[in-house]
Amino acid sequence: MSYYEDASADMQIPQFTKKDKRRAVKTFSRVHGSLVGYTLLTVAAAYIIQIITMMIVGSDGLVAIAENPYYFWGMQVASMYVIAFPLFWLMIRKLPVADRRSDKMSLMEFGAIFLVSEAIMLLGSMFSQWLTGLMEVFLGHEIPDTTSDIILSSPLWIIILVVVIIGPIVEEMIFRKAMIDRLSVYGDRLAVIVSAFAFGLFHGNFYQLFYATALGLVLGYVYTRTRRSIYNCLLHIVINFMGTVPALLLQDSLDRINALPEDALIEGEVVLDMLILSAYSSLQYALAIAGIIIFIIATVNRTYTFSDKCDIRIPSKNLPRVLVFNLGTLLFIIFCLLRCLTSLLPA
């Protein structure tokens, strides 16, 4: 029997027993440990693919094609999505899943949440750039943004297929469908918060850590609000599209502007480039401002409130042990922090 704690129910959450504590520790450890396993499987699969490639084309051939975007993205898809993702699902599938009703979301509500997401992306990117700039001064070298560099050097259709469509769907299946469904046994709100922090840490770099965590809260809200993966998958796809495709389409215009000498006369095609870039920048700020306004109004009116349905409530005194001090979670945190620190090294 499921026990929910909400305004419409008079049922009480049962007492948290020692057996419940052991199960909760096991659940949180298994969830985070599976994320570590997923990453290690991805790395192992990528190495195996490279070894097979080297056996076919030789070491010189591997060096020649290693930076080819078709080979790079093909290896990413094969290792992360074809090999590691199904194995991740096998590691996590036996954990109990919370029983929740699904619901629909109106187009207007979806659009409002998209605008809030755009505000998060813009403000989060600005904060990340500011923080990265401070760290570069402290470290004395430029911190590489390898993700952006790879995207900007890749064909548009590959980015649309992998970064805009496949990547968001798989990430939503992992961090919302798999994680929240299983952690919601201990409360929807807790599940959203934990999955959001895991989502941010999992990116493994300081460029994406903060806004990815904030965006994870929004995507988690959408999923617990509807319990239908289609909504958060679509939202994630649109966000990734807005964050990558326009930048790729406008890269040539930006390169022409940056290539101009300081005292050059601005005319012709460059004027059009500047107008296009200004229009795109204005659109970004307009969407972000609209999102901020919607967020403020929604906060005042308490429009977006996280569900707090719960089967088993974890007492506050047990939260540190259950959430953090278990093998899987500690390994996950250490692993992600090491990846973040590694991302600070010079290229």
Q: What is the pLDDT of residues 283-318, one digit of tens each?
A: 999 999 999 999 999 999 988 888 888 889 999 999
Name residue 179's amino acid: M
User: Does residue 328 have a pLDDT over 90?
Assistant: yes
How far, in Å, are 47, 78, 82 from residue 53 at the CA level? 10, 13, 17
CA distance 143 to 139: 9
How confident is the model at residue 266, as a pLDDT? 64
How confident is the model at residue 2, as a pLDDT? 37
Helix (H) or strand (E) holding 39: helix 18-65
Whole-structure pTM value = 0.90
User: Does residue 224 have a pLDDT over 80?
Assistant: yes
Confidence band, pLDDT 50/70/90 cuts, at residue 174: very high
The token pair at 52 is 């097979």
Q: What is the pLDDT of residues 235-256, one digit of tens each?
A: 999 999 998 999 888 888 887 7
